[in-house]
Each structure stands twice: as C-alpha cells, then as structure tokens.
Chain A
Amino acid sequence: MSYLELHDVSKTYGDGIAQVHALQGVALSVDAGSLVAVMGASGSGKSTLLTIAGSLEDPTRGEVFVDGRPLSTLSRNGKARLRRQSIGYVFQDYNLLAGLSALENVSLPLELDGVAARKAQGVALEALEDFGLTDRASHFPDQLSGGERQRVAIARAVVGGRRLLLADEPSGALDSTNAEAVMRQILAACHRGMAAVVVTHDAQLASWADRVVFLRDGRIVDQTMPAQRPEAFLADLPNA
C-alpha cells in the first residue's frame, strides 16, 4: 500500500526567459515500510521533489497523495497538521535547536502538537532508546558528535508514530562510519513500517534503499530493479 504518491508532478519557478522547470511530470509511489532513494546531480530537482512530497511547497501541476489524501484539498492549517503528525524531516545540517537538550529536541514536535510535556518527553525518551541514544538525552547539540546529532534528528523525525520520513542528504557532512549508522537507523524506521524517501548524490547511501530512482533535469529517467536475495547474489559471484 503506497503511503506517498506523486502523480504527474511538475514544478516551475519564475516566468518567461527566467523560467526554470525544476520538476517535470514526476510519478513516484513509496510503500509503507519501504525506503526509496532519489539520486541526481545538483540542480536535478531532488530537493524540490522532497519539499513538494512533504507539503512544504505546492506543485505547479499534478497531485501529491499522503496516506491516500490529496494534499491540494488540505488547507494551510491542514497541511501543517499533517506535517506535525505524519511527516518527519531530516536535513544535512541536522536543524536541532541549540538551546534544547536532545530529549527536548525530540519531544518538541509532540508538544507543538498539543501533547502534554511530561507525556511527550516519555515518548521522546523511548525514541532515543530505540536508537541507542538514551545516555545522550540530556546533552545539548554542541555536546554531541555530528553522527549523534543526526541520529537525534532522525529520532525527532520518527517520534510519535509518524509514517513518512523525508531526508535530504542526511549524511552529507558525516564520515562513512557515521553515515552508515544514520542509514541503518533510517532502515530500522522503515522496518517498523515508515515510508522513507532519501535524496542524495551519494551512491553508498542510496544503496541502502529498496529502490533507487534517478532524476535528471527534473524528470525521473530510470530506476533500479529489485535486488536478489543475498544468498542468490553470493552464489552467483564468479570464483577467484
């Protein structure tokens, strides 16, 4: 069952000679529990795709469905509610609030959605526990390593039963060990039923996805086929 669907989505910025077609006729569906990576060069439309999928921007043409609901039918407040309750965002630069502890950063979206502070912090602590970050709960962002900050940001993105995770170059500033930890965390969220879209230019990151789609000049030009079972893949390797 697709949790996120983009139907013939186009996005155009500017007018006349300055017009830029950031997305052109993009169709994409992401099932609950699956991880889709979007790869493309700078300027290919990756980030635009993510902001439109997350209702932060409206498409010029086409429709986005989240959990079956067409976003064009939602009011501004309705979209804001959808974002608070159902969508988690992860950015390259973490976007944690410097004055709040890891626990407070994770509980903030719940509190903004009207959950009582004590209850929100309990749920946030569980999210941190799930990702092995319990001992970092009282640390402030500047007391955390880059990898830990991003893992806190992912805990914040999934807290409270959100169903859609949208990540923009989530390990762009991290070394390969921390990047792998971040992707394992995103994959773990998918195994618990979240739908996730990661946009990246990094193939090592994208290779964690169930499916990789390739964007070029605002269009999806290709996608990977489903992978073989690991045993079959290993058995097919040529001998030394």
Chain B
Amino acid sequence: MSVRHALLALLSEGPKYGLQLRQEFEARTGDVWPLNVGQVYTTLQRLERDGLVEADDTTEEGPQKGFHITEDGAAELAQWLRTPPDFSSPPRDELVIKVLVALGLPGVDIHDVVQVHRRYLVELMQQWTRLKEDESRFDLNFALVVDAELFRLDSLLRWLDTAEGRLKRAAAGVDAPLPQAGPLPKARRKVGNRS
C-alpha cells in the first residue's frame, strides 16, 4: 500500500488538510486500511521535502494546515499510476513454503496440512463475502477492495487444490507431468507449415 501516492492522488483533486486526507483515504479504500494521523503528517512532510507537495501559505499550522500538489507531484503520480508493481520474482509465500517443507517430513500427512490451510482460506473468504451481504455498506470502493481480497484468497486455494491433485497423482505412481503438447500429428503439421 503506497500511502505516499494515495495522498498525492487525493491532493490532485485540490488542496486538502491532513485530517481531511486521512478521512478521504479511509473512505476511498473502503475503510479496510485504517490510517493514523501521525502517518499522514509524516508522509506529507516527506512529500514536501521532495517537492511533490507544498503547504498553503494562507492556512494555519496544525491539523488545519492545508497542502496542494506541485507539478512534480502530479508528474510523479502519473508515472506511478502507469508503472506496474514488480511481480517479476515469486514472493516467498509462507503457504507455499509450508507445503513444500511438509512434503519431506516423515509422519506428516500432506493432505491434512493442505486441508488446514484450505479451511482457513475458505473461512476468510466467507468473512469477506459476508461483507457483501450488507448492501448499505457496500459502495464501489469497498466492493473493489473486497473483490481483490476474494480473488487473492481464491488464487491461493486454487494453488492448494492443484498441489493436492499433483500429490495424489504422484502417490498413485502417475507422477509424470501432465500431458504435454507434443509434436502435432503429421496432417496438422503440414497445415501449420503452409501458413
């Protein structure tokens, strides 16, 4: 979560003061990521030091002190929005590590280990889905946050399901990789060659 860039985004809409930034940040993120006001002011000071925001001259010091974005700040925000996060290297996912470690341990039933994590993930998904049921709370920002969390948890569950399928095949002696795309049959290859 880049608080720094989230604050720049809020200031790109117009000048704001610290408390207001905190309230709007929380509202925009569906009240899922609470922010303490100290974090807001520390971040604003750094942004000011880097020339990305400026304090308004006209406003007073303290909680009512206003800030506005600079040209450099707007350019930094535009650049950040279009820069994909770094997904190039696999994270050291604790769940993956636990399953890999469990594989080699005597006396550990890997299916039990997988099931413990599966149940926990489904329980978390149930909690997030429950939040969808209350439509009075369910604005667009909140819906997007909940969806993101559900898809993240779901991807972990799918990995667990796939892992368990692979382990079962391996235990049954069918431990070769899934069928691979071999060379195409002759007739089709000919078609391919022509194109």
CB<8 Å pairs between A and B, sample of 10: A41-B161, A203-B153, A207-B125, A207-B128, A214-B118, A222-B115, A227-B123, A230-B130, A237-B32, A240-B3
Chain A residues near B33 (CB, 8 Å)? 239-240
**Are A230 and B115 in touch, CB under 8 angstroms?**
no
Chain B 159-173 interface mask (CB, 8 Å, partner A; 1/0): 001001100000000
Chain B 127-154 interface mask (CB, 8 Å, partner A; 1/0): 1111111100100000000000011011
Chain A residues near B115 (CB, 8 Å)? 214, 216, 221-222
Chain B residues near A221 (CB, 8 Å)? 115
Chain B residues near A195 (CB, 8 Å)? none
**Are B154 and A214 in touch, CB under 8 angstroms?**
no
Nearest-CB residue, chain A, relative to B2: A240
Given contacts A203-B154, A221-B115, contact A227 B127 (CB under 8 A): yes
**Are B161 and A201 in touch, CB under 8 angstroms?**
yes
Chain A residues near B35 (CB, 8 Å)? 239-240
Cα(A203)–Cα(B160), bound, Å: 12
What's the nearest-Cβ distance from chain B to residue A79, in Å? Answer: 33
Given contacts A204-B150, A207-B122, A240-B33, contact A233 B129 (CB under 8 A): no
Which A214-240 residues sit within 8 Å CB-CB of chain B? 214, 216, 221-225, 227-228, 230, 233-234, 237, 239-240
Cα(A208)–Cα(B125), bound, Å: 9
Given contacts A230-B127, A240-B3, A240-B34, contact A206 B122 (CB under 8 A): yes
- Interface size for A (C-beta < 8 A) is 27
How many A-B residue pairs have C-beta atoms within 8 angstroms? Tell me.
75
What's the nearest-Cβ distance from chain B to residue A151, in Å? Answer: 18
**Are A212 and B122 in touch, CB under 8 angstroms?**
yes
**Are B126 and A227 in touch, CB under 8 angstroms?**
yes
**Are B127 and A228 in touch, CB under 8 angstroms?**
yes
Given contacts A41-B161, A208-B129, A224-B126, contact A234 B32 (CB under 8 A): yes
User: Is A39's CB within 8 Å of the partner chain B?
Assistant: yes
User: Is A127's CB within 8 Å of the partner chain B?
Assistant: no
Cα(A29)–Cα(B63), bound, Å: 57
Chain B residues near A214 (CB, 8 Å)? 115, 118-119
Cα(A79)–Cα(B170), bound, Å: 43
User: Is A187's CB within 8 Å of the partner chain B?
Assistant: yes
Chain B 165-187 interface mask (CB, 8 Å, partner A; 1/0): 10000000000000000000000
Nearest-CB residue, chain B, relative to A209: B126
**Are B130 and A233 in touch, CB under 8 angstroms?**
yes
Given contacts A239-B34, A240-B3, contact A230 B131 (CB under 8 A): yes
Chain B residues near A223 (CB, 8 Å)? 119
Nearest-CB residue, chain A, relative to B147: A176
Cα(A167)–Cα(B30), bound, Å: 33
Chain A 163-182 interface mask (CB, 8 Å, partner B; 1/0): 00000000000000000100
Chain A residues near B154 (CB, 8 Å)? 203-204
Chain A residues near B99 (CB, 8 Å)? none
Chain A residues near B165 (CB, 8 Å)? 41
Chain B 8-35 interface mask (CB, 8 Å, partner A; 1/0): 0000000000000000000001011111
